[in-house]
Amino acid sequence: MSESPAFRGKSALESPISTKSPPPVTPGVDAAGFSAYTERQNTPLAKPFHRPHHDADSYFGGSETPRPVSPTMVAAGAKSPEELLRRLSLSKSSTEGTSSRNVDPRAAHPNLNLSGRILSATFVVPFNIKFINDNQWELGQRKGTSALFDSFSYLSSPESKWDHTLIGWTGEITQVTKNRRGLGAATLNDAQRARLRAAAPVPVDPKQKQEAFDTAEVQIPASNRASLERMLEKHANGKYVPVWLADKEEDQTKNYVLKDQRRWTRYSQHELYNLFHYIQNEPGDGRSARKAWADYYKMNRLFADRILDIYKPGDIVVVHDHQLLLLPSLLRQKIPSIYVGFFLHIPFPSSELYRCLSQRKELLEGVLGANMVGFQSYSYSRHFSSCCTRILGFDSSSAGVDAYGAHVAVDVFPIGINAAAIRQAAFDNPSVEDKLQRIRQIYAGKKVIIGRDRLDTVRGVAQKLQAFEKFLEANEQWRDKVVLIQITSASERNPDQEKADKKYVNKIANLVSRINGKYGSMSSSPVQHFPQYLDRDEYLALLRIADLGLITSVRDGMNTTSLEYVICQKDNHGPLILSEFSGTAGSLAHAIHVNPWDSNGVADAIKSALTTPKEIRRQQHEKLYNHVFSNDTQAWTSKFLGRLLTNLSSFDQSFATPLLDRTRLLETYRSSKKRLFMFDYDGTLTPIVKDPMLATPSDRVLRNLKQLAEDPNNEVWIISGRDQAFLDEWMGHLSNLGLSAEHGSFLRSPRSDKWENVAGGMDMTWRNEVKEIFESYTERTLGSALEIKKVALTWHYRGADPVLGEYHARKCQRELEDKVARNWDVEVMTGKANLEVRPRFVNKGEIAKRLVNQYFTSSNGVASPIADCELGFVLCLGDDFTDEDMFRSLRQSKLPADYIFSVTVGASSKQTLASWHLLEPSDVISVLGLLNGNAKDQGNLGALNVVEGKIPDASKV
């Protein structure tokens, strides 16, 4: 698209764009996906953090409100852990009420052994980085997410008691060649020129000397990487640690080779950003999606590795946004006791839409590695908790989610802006005053409605224009007395979305043309559309002069334009119309909330806002202004950290069991000489069903077990509570498989058809007493059944009424312990909807101990390095209480801990002796497929990519 010649070279607001032709396509967001509304300037990258003098309701903020003397008083009468957390986190305790200048977080929470350091992980550092002449670096200011960057500035400022470090991707590094005068030594090629022309309001002139951007390949030597890292570490605005995302590393030179740098944004932008904003993509063949997911997993793992390079015990890691959803779990896999908070800056969708994602489980499991998860609004947090329950099966409440043996707090923290800095920039700057007067002259006698949005469908620009058209249609008296100034900035999209974006740009252009054609004149146009960067002073002047702010986003996180508008309206008191679908709506209760899909309703709201009496406007604005000013960036940061620390102090996190690290599992498996597998059956290899006899192994289970067992380096055992007959019937044909029936009472070794009776010499007289008791409860409990095995006896009540079954099970257990267990060497075991009585010396732990001792050999009989030790890998999986014996036995073995992968299976929040966690039997089969080299499973794709260094072929089974 070309640009009107009259527009070129003039101030944006002095030269309205012609409505006879579509508007020029504007500069896109930065390479990493950030929006950009204001023109780049040679200004300092960040100003000192300005803090207003007021008492904020925050962790560090001061207040004179009486405080409880101690947390004990706050917690008095709490009836549940959730209520305790809520009381503690909402109360303003003595430590939270003290000024940050007097309180060190380590002193406020001595039980946490904090280091005083915060490591903030965000997708990209706040700089545009250029590699000049292959030997020096140039840092420019990155635009977008100003509220988040303001939070980082505060944490790095002297006002904060924290030692802050920001970890982020370098962003797309641009290689630039300059001559001695600083001009480019070469011009752009056709592809580069086309890309820049589509992103700039002024066409690129190929004859004009430009910087020569080499987009084909960038090579970064180790010495240059080190120099950039030193530069960022010692930066005046704080400490920054870059994450290098390279396509490869040269073997000889150790250079990092950067080719397709946009690959790292594809999954988060195309899949996550779209779906989280309720945009569903067109179906594809899945190839690009597989590659994007593999890159996403690899990127999150590289972030985890970079953080662990600088991590110290007691550090707090705060992870930001949808690009890093897997990072909390990856960190917890490495350090189970790590303190992690996560905050999502964009909306979270409802479960009906979220479950459309192919990697829905993996993403939720990744986030649940955090100790606390924060959202912009309550509806987003509710959607997240609902997804955890509906998709993963975890118990959740308004306080959080119980997952992997720990409580993950879920809460709401509407982000703020640096209100004091915005006010200073808007009211203490002569340049803003000058531009304000000039704009006022241009639109003299008119009411000014201001809108600023990114130009994509979720920002609701089309809905805004349609509503404004309805307003002009219904209110003839306003047609020459009002002007809508709409500023837009283009979105950064993937190539397969460009067609849809162009359609939307054309739609906006047609709407503007239609409105101006119907209701405009030669001298004025009711819509002034500026699809371009604005000078920041000009933007602030617009916010000050406006009579009405209009935001109609159809799906949004935290809209900071609305907050900036409120601050800039300190004198004018202009109303704010805000979409109810914006994340800001929940915190700006005194704005005028509208449904952007209701054009007539928005039109009525515009009329009502323009005719609101001055005193009412003043009262409403005062409430908005006080809220925005008191809930600024520092307050948001302090509340989030304060709530995280309260959660860590309130709940014992030591029992959290991280999700199984498949990458580490695969690496250890492939590097070991001898491997031992021990699998429970029910609830591990097959799902729990009402009738135990229907829990038969699937063909996929049998194929994976057979493939594992046929490897001569593997010893694979099924250690089950099932009897010999069942195991023989369904798995006896797998000759290389070892079988253990009735929790270790009978054994059949691999490549043998003979069963060994481990409990053969024991007196079994006790069985008659147990049988009599079980039969009495079977008669009283409809739907229950008695299973008589050769050694053990099991009473199943899964088919009974759940309440009656649990009641009779408790009574039966007490009766067995009183009448049988006291007189015989047996134990009463509680399982999943069953009770079992068996000899005390027969359990899965004894079998696990026996197998480890059998296969673990070394020259001196003790644990030794893998070079001298046959057994270098143990994978043990189980789902219930009886399997804890195996996990305990492995913990007590002489095997090095790095060789052992003990994994509990199930969605319950049980505390376990296992070191790892898997959600359900399908995940167990997926893991077996991973070890067998199956590349089809999406859950294995990331691990295979990391270990093999390439995206595996989907056709490989």
Domain ranges of the chain: 117-173+216-412, 419-631, 662-758+842-948, 765-839
Burial 211-237 (b: 16+ CB within 10 A, else e): bbbbbeebbbeeebbeebeebbeebeb
799 phi, psi to nearest 5 deg: -85, 0
Q: Residues 834, 840, 844, CA angle at the centre, nearest 5°?
A: 70
pLDDT in tens, 665-708: 999 999 998 999 999 999 999 998 877 778 899 999 999 999 99
* Paired sense of beta strands 163-169 and 136-141, if any: unpaired
Closest CA to 639 of 36, 265, 100: 100
DSSP state of 16: P
pTM of the model: 0.82
Fold of the CATH domain 662-758+842-948? Rossmann fold (3.40.50)
Rg from Cα positions in the chain = 32
DSSP state of 521: -
**CA–CA dist 331, 337 (Å, integer):** 10
- The answer to whether 908 and 895 have CB atoms below 8 angstroms apart is no
CATH no. for 117-173+216-412 = 3.40.50.2000
Residues of the chain whose pLDDT is less than 50? 1-10, 12, 14-75, 81, 88, 91-101, 183-214, 858-868, 956-957
Dihedral (CA of 149, 151, 156, 157) sign? positive
Q: Which residues are paired to 136 by β-bridges?
A: 132
Task: Domain 419-631: give its CATH architecture.
Answer: 3-Layer(aba) Sandwich (3.40)
pLDDT of 67: 37
**CA–CA dist 942, 359 (Å, integer):** 11
pLDDT of 323: 96
- The answer to whether 118 and 315 have CB atoms below 8 angstroms apart is yes
**CA–CA dist 570, 548 (Å, integer):** 13
pLDDT of 82: 52
* Paired sense of beta strands 372-375 and 239-243, if any: unpaired
Q: Retrieve residue 612's tokens.
A: 């609101």
pLDDT of 626: 94
pLDDT in tens, 72-124: 444 455 555 455 555 545 544 433 433 444 577 888 889 999 999 999 999 99
Same fold, 419-631 and 662-758+842-948: yes
pLDDT of 497: 60
* Paired sense of beta strands 592-594 and 576-579, if any: parallel
Fold of the CATH domain 765-839? Alpha-Beta Plaits (3.30.70)
* Paired sense of beta strands 248-249 and 256-258, if any: antiparallel
| 256-258 sheet: strands from edge to edge | 218-220, 256-258, 248-249
Q: Retrieve residue 319's tokens.
A: 């992870």
pLDDT of 662: 94
